[in-house]
Amino acid sequence: MAAAPGSVTDVWSSLMRESDGGRLRVAIGQIPVAVGAIGRNAERIAEVMAWAEHCGADVLVLPELALTGYPVADLVLHREFVAEAEEAAAGLAEIAGETTTVVGTVTRVPARRSWDSVERDVSISAVVLNRGEVRGAYHKILLPTYGAFDEGRNIAPGGQADALWAIGDVVAGISICEDLWSGDGPPEAQARAGAQILLAPNASPYHRTKRAGRERHTAQLARRNGVPLVYANLVGGQDDIVFDGSSLVIGADGTLLYRAPAFREDRAVLDVALPAPRVLTTRPTTVHAVPRPRRPPADAPRPHDAAGELEEIWGALCTGTRDFVEKNGFRRVILGLSGGMDAAFTAALAAEALGPDAVLGVAMPGPDTDPDELDAARDVAEALGIGFAVVPLEPLVSASASVLASATAVHGPWTTEALDAPAHPAQLRPGVLTTMSAAHGLLLLATTNKTELSIGAAIPHTDTVGGFAPLRDCPKTLLYRLAAHPHVGPGRIPRHVLEKRTSAQERFGEGFPSYEVLDVIVQRYVQYGEGVEDLAARGYDVDVVLDVLARIDAAESVRRQAPLGVTISPRAFGTDRRMPVTNAWRPTRRRDSGRVDPAHARFPLGPETAADPDR
């Protein structure tokens, strides 16, 4: 519909017709930040703002919540936290020059309801800074509450999907992360309203298939709306989440103009061709009204190559581990080095992420430990160049056995004999490691992997003890693939360590399914929700399926005791998959007779972890 003569939109449309679309010089700041470190984050943002100003950028786009870090979770319930973020944004506005800066933060807004009865008054926002002022803020509208996201719990949704911003003689739309993904959301509303370019701050976590899907979606979005898209993503680790960066600039025809590297900081500036001006149906907020003079195009940076699957996974594991250690104030780590694959892989990952000098591996041979295991542990330490210590457990085994034998029943139905317990090295090793970590200020790394954590093969109070578990979301078969890769992963692990049978295989014997079978069943059940019938239709033995699914559900309490680890799958244990610990339901298969067979366990884990739901 044409604008009425003399109206605000008619004036803007006339101004737009005087331009041929032209180009907008866009800068992206793909930066790592830390949750809650508002002052340090503001200093980093100020540095990027100065760089963008020096480059003559018309606009600088920074990631979602770049000022506060993502996710903010319940920090927004503290009024002081929100006030500090607003003060920091005002401070950044004071130093803003001719380059318009779009920076993610939180802002206080009038209280409003969304999908329930609770009023919320904090928004995830993109504040727009220019020439010493905060010129306005776009408030995120679509708040995800799936997977690792829980924004709708504390955040108020924005209400103006078609908001526009006049940056000189260019009209832009701003959308934040989830706003891009509905297919008919704020980007579409802004394009219909007259936006010539979409600016999108993001905090998009990594998982194994995310980058390719993200690129397909953003290309479709740009083509569908006929406008270019600037997609600035966070980079770095935060607790169990890791952000890969991989920021994008997409042309109006869906062409990839720029791809930032994965898992490292990046700055880029490029001139983006704009479509012809459109009739405006929404009055833009004026950021400034000073068109920049015509100038030769800047040299276009070459898009960085997309890494292969295994390179990306290795980058995610290293980034997530390094940032968890360093952001929590540690400089060095400690782990038990048994001579097995998981411990060796964890040590190799830590050495890559932190440097060999920051890693201490501790071998703790018991009275019955095979000498080959100690030799294998020593071989791993030497191959990786990490610190290595040996703590023989025989004195501790003897002392703890003596202490436990002296237990005396004081009252109740217990007898002294019932309180006696054998001392086993597996229960003593965590005590040695936690004592050493506390004494020397080291972060203890747990070495368990996703496969064994899934089925309860990770022993509580032993394999799961630590402050961080880098391999928590890594299936065993993935570890073997990474170890075999010539250019990524822990290539220095001695081959004889990789080829030895695992402790789970030794414990469970011939009844233990292959890791190839286990990992597929775990993935199909946990990630896709497939049941017994679905997996049987894929050709898997029904008894094996029932075994594995029973183990997965029975092991929830074990997983709750495990520390955080780097998430690399679309649906990982933890915040992505929230299951009750006390849970009598088990997957079933309805046979031809109509009898229901509950999932049960065949390969033994020991009486203390029997999977019969009625026990």
Catalytic one of 177, 178, 312, 474: 177
Report the distance separating Cα 82 and Cα 80, nearest Å.
6
Q: What b/e readout covers 388-412, taking b as 16+ CB neighbours within 10 angstroms?
A: beebebeebbeebeeeeeeeeeeee
> Can you read off the two tokens belonging to residue 602?
């065949």
Could you tell me which of 603, 507, 473 has the C-alpha nearest to residue 548?
603
**3-class DSSP assignment, residue 504:** helix
> Burial level of 435, CB count in 10 A (0-12/13-18/19+)?
exposed
Report the distance separating Cα 429 and Cα 339, nearest Å.
14
The angle formed by the CA atoms of residues 82, 88 and 89, to the nearest 5 degrees, is 90
State the number of CA atoms in the 13 A half-sphere of 166 facing the CB. 21
**3-class DSSP assignment, residue 458:** coil
64 has catalytic annotation: yes
Distance from the Cα of residue 216 to its chain's centroid: 20
**CA dihedral of 123, 124, 130, 134, whole degrees rounded to 10:** 20
Per the CB < 8 A criterion, the answer to whether 230 and 198 are in contact is yes
Could you tell me which of 609, 286, 292 has the C-alpha nearest to residue 455?
609
> Can you read off the two tokens belonging to residue 341?
């694959």
* Residues composing the chain: 615
Helix (H) or strand (E) holding 189, with range, is: helix 186-193
Catalytic one of 86, 140, 452, 474: 140
Per the CB < 8 A criterion, the answer to whether 481 and 372 are in contact is no
Report the distance separating Cα 49 and Cα 397, nearest Å.
60
DSSP state of 261: P
Instruction: Name residues whose C-beta falls within 8 Å of residue 339's C-beta, 6 or more positions apart in sequence.
Output: 363, 372, 373, 374, 375, 376, 377, 379, 380, 497, 500
> Can you read off the two tokens belonging to residue 84?
């500090």
Amino acid identity of 41? N
Per the CB < 8 A criterion, the answer to whether 257 and 230 are in contact is no
Report the distance separating Cα 453 and Cα 463, nearest Å.
9
Which phi and psi (to 5°) does residue 427 adopt?
Answer: -80, -20
55 has catalytic annotation: no
Report the distance separating Cα 287 and Cα 300, nearest Å.
26
Instruction: Name residues whose C-beta falls within 8 Å of residue 7's C-beta, 6 or more positions apart in sequence.
Output: none
Q: How many CB atoms lie within 10 A of CB 346?
A: 31
For residue 187, cis peptide bond before it (omega within 30 degrees of 0): no
Per the CB < 8 A criterion, the answer to whether 19 and 169 are in contact is yes
133 has catalytic annotation: no
Q: Residue 383, by phi and psi: left (phi above 0), alpha (psi -120 to 50) or beta?
A: alpha
Catalytic residues: 64, 140, 177
